[in-house]
Amino acid sequence: MLHRFALLVVVACNSAPGSRAPSRPRSRPTLQPGDIAITNVTVVPMSRDGVLEHHTVVVRGDRIVELAPSASIEVPEGTTAIDGTDRWLMPGLSDMHVHTWMESDLTLFIAAGVTTVRNMFGSDQHLAWRSQIAHGERLGPTIVTAGPIIDGDPPVWPGSSVVDKPADADRIVAEQKAQGYDFLKPYSRLSREAYEALAAAGKRHGMVLAGHVPSAVGLAGVLAARQKSIEHLDGWLLALVPEGMKLPEQGGMQAKLRAALPRLDPARLPGLIAQTIAAGTWNCPTLVVLDRIARLDDPAAVKRGATWLDKVAPAIAAQWDPKQDFRFKAFTAEDFSTMRAANVWRAKILARLSAANAPILVGTDTGNPFVIPGEALHDEIELMVAAGMPRARVLRAATADAAAYLGTPRDFGIVEVGARADLLLVPQDPLTAPLPLVPDGVMVRGRWLPRAELEAKLAALVKQNQAPPAQDRFGGRDRGGRLRRRAQARRRRPPGPRGHGDDRQDCLEQRARARRRRLGRQAEVQLSDVRDRVHAHPAVRTSGRRALALRGWSRSWRCSGARSSARHINTTGPASCNASAAGTTTARR
């Protein structure tokens, strides 16, 4: 009777309101052949503070399926085991502001541990890459991409979508969404009316805005529209100008900054930061591109600091001469000095945003002079730390916070069961020391790349850049050696059986070959002429990556919404393509 009474008391207590049944331990998955286990490693999860020592992480496919103390997991035969002793495992990095046009960029990102990128000027090429990478058909970081930049008339960059009239906004937003782009990028020359129409259209179509602060709108207007992210701390400096102060109308942004910098009012910062947090707006400072541009008055010094310059295509590096860039070729020593002074203020703003726990992303604006894919993100992290942002906070911004910004907080950027297996294995604690430029290993979507393989890929890029360009039979460049391979294949082709009519057939084939050679020579001359004219175009000269992205006859150049066939490209170009640096409100994309 007493035993039965005690049992009833226990049952009653467990079923009382507010009581919780004991949680069942999660069943551990059985390791399978093909799984990858990183054993006895110190895990930096980024989903919580601190580290997990002597743990094993198990990856199956592209997902993490187990994270537990190493003593509790037995790794059977058939499982790939990677020894993590005396090493740290952290999530892959996210560069949340890139411009990538070359396939070699994808290699550089992965070799530096960048497993996710947000591309800020999209095209069909990026949509194709995004799909191929997601399906395992191409090695590269996961890509999230904007469509073409959306700017006023004339746009700063050729190829931008122009919203001159508010009525155009809905059409352009609908087009970019239908094409498959992930978000919209507003730019500096949009009018206030066009920007407000764009923000409203984005809301209707479920497309967020992430980009610049148009000069006509200002920081307050962008925050009122709840723009998802602001790039380069755009608009912040002018928002600190005291009320009633008049800025110069002439001379562009440099003249405005020269007048404003001595008078900036830091007392305005707390209110602006509070508005930023209330709007849910993230800031992506891109200190590295601002630093590089501000030091372009001494390009040789900038070159010496570029570790991976030999991995950049020579034709791209040649475009980084400031005298060849329409944005900087008219800059004076005073202009560069003004930019450096402005960067000091930007570092202060970032430190205040961090102290207030405002949402922050890590991005580089790679694609600009000496902002090299992969390498630049490591430089950005160190610049953010130097500005006063705690290293652990910067790493969280470069991993878990990137996923939170994209609305997938448990999908990547953390080391937890169920997360995408984008991981870095490093030889020292990333919470206390800079990351190595090339990790001991990178896992991207479950594919393991040890350091030796990463170094081999980098060495292949260097060799490719050092090789002289192949020449075809007409004295021009043999694109990829295709003409040479075709000729070799014809020479290796075995002779077929001969019969009646073979002499006439041989004669016809010889005539056909002669005609193909004649047409080929004509086509090669025409294509060479087109290339020369395209590369001589002032808009193209300022964007070397776009010029190099030209692929034969099928590529076209988009300028101010109009498409010009590569066969009949307009070498003079509309006025919008020849915009000079005068009055330009930005020095980066």
Give yes or no: residues 259 and 141 share one domain: yes
- Phi (first) and psi of residue 473, to 5 degrees: -65, -20
Q: How far apart are CA 466 and CA 378, in angstroms?
A: 25
In the three-class reduction of DSSP (H, G, I as helix; E, B as strand; rest coil), residue 97 is classed as: strand
- Residues 301-343: pLDDT tens digits? 999 999 999 999 999 999 999 998 889 989 999 999 999 999 9
Structure confidence by residue, pLDDT tens digits, 34-72: 999 999 999 999 999 999 999 999 999 999 999 999 999
Same domain, 50 and 64: yes
* 138 and 52 fall within a common domain: no
How much is the pLDDT for 558? Answer: 37
Strands 36-43 and 80-83: parallel
User: What's the rounded mean pLDDT across residues 419-446?
Assistant: 98
Phi-psi category of residue 67: left, alpha or beta, with phi > 0 → left and psi -120 to 50 → alpha: beta
For residue 101, being part of any structural domain is answered with yes
Other CB atoms within a 10 A radius of the CB of residue 504 amount to: 9
Q: Which of 466, 490, 508 is the last residue of a domain?
A: 466
Q: Are residues 46 and 103 in the same domain?
A: no
pLDDT score of 269 more than 90: yes
Per residue in 115-133, pLDDT (tens digit) is: 999 999 999 999 999 999 9
Mean pLDDT (whole number) for 139-156: 97
Q: Does residue 41 form part of some domain?
A: yes
Predicted pLDDT of residue 504: 53
pLDDT at 574 over 90: no
How high is the pLDDT of residue 478? 52
Say if residue 273 is in the same domain as residue 404: yes
pLDDT-derived band of residue 368, with 50, 70 and 90 as boundaries? very high
- pLDDT greater than 70 at residue 219: yes
pLDDT at residue number 119: 98
Q: Is residue 418 part of a domain?
A: yes
Average pLDDT (26-34) is 76
Separation of alpha carbons 290 and 231, rounded Å: 11
Q: What is the pLDDT of residues 498-557, one digit of tens each?
A: 444 445 555 556 666 666 666 555 555 554 554 444 444 444 444 444 434 433 333 333
Query: Which among 435, 451, 466 is the end of a domain?
Result: 466
The confidence score (pLDDT) of residue 468 equals: 80
Per-residue confidence at 25, pLDDT binned at 50, 70, 90?
A: low
User: Is residue 475 domain-resident?
Assistant: no
- pLDDT above 50 (res 228): yes
Q: Is 260 left (phi over 0), alpha (psi -120 to 50) or beta?
A: alpha
Asked whether residue 393 is assigned to any structural domain, the reply reads yes
Is the domain of 369 the same as that of 462?
no
Domain count of the fold of the chain: 2
Residue-number span of the structural domain to which 302 is assigned: 93-146+228-410
What pLDDT, on the 0 to 100 scale, is given for residue 521?
58
Question: Comparing 298 with 510, which gets the higher pLDDT?
Answer: 298
CA distance 587 to 45: 37
What does the pLDDT look like over 402-413, one tens digit per residue?
A: 999 999 999 999
Shared domain check, 440 and 344: no
Say whether pLDDT at 479 is over 80. Answer: no
Residue 576 lies in a domain: no
Q: CATH number of the domain that 108 lies in? A: 3.20.20
The pLDDT of residue 91 is 98
On the question of pLDDT at 19 being above 50, the answer is no
Q: What is the mean pLDDT of the chain?
A: 84
Together in a domain, 370 and 424: no
Q: What confidence score (pLDDT) does residue 522 get?
A: 57
Residue 187, pLDDT above cutoff 90: yes
> Which residues make beta-bridge pairs with 447?
444
- pLDDT recorded at residue 578: 33
User: Does residue 115 share a domain with residue 247?
Assistant: yes
Say how many C-beta atoms besides its own lie within 10 A of residue 551's C-beta: 10
- The answer to whether residues 114 and 236 belong to one domain is yes
Confidence (pLDDT) at 517: 64
Identify whether 238 is part of a domain: yes
Instruction: Give the pLDDT mean for 221-249.
Output: 96
The dihedral over CA atoms of 444, 447, 450, 455, expressed in degrees to the nearest 10, equals -70
- Please tell me whether residues 73 and 118 are part of one structural domain: no
Question: What is the full DSSP assignment across 177-203?
Answer: HHHT-SBB-B-TT--HHHHHHHHHHHH
The secondary structure of residue 283, as a DSSP letter, is E
Q: Final residue of a domain: which of 410, 429, 456?
A: 410
Give the Cα separation of 349 and 359 in Å (integer). Answer: 13
CB 117 within 8 A of CB 139: no
Does the pLDDT at position 367 exceed 90?
A: yes
Same domain (yes/no): 281, 366? yes
Which tokens in the block code for residue 420?
């995408």
* Residue 399 pLDDT > 80: yes
| CATH code for the domain in which residue 71 is found | 2.30.40.10
In the numeric block, which tokens belong to residue 326?
A: 């329409």
Residue 290 · residue 588 · CB < 8 Å = yes
Residue 510 lies in a domain: no
The pLDDT assigned to 512 comes to 62
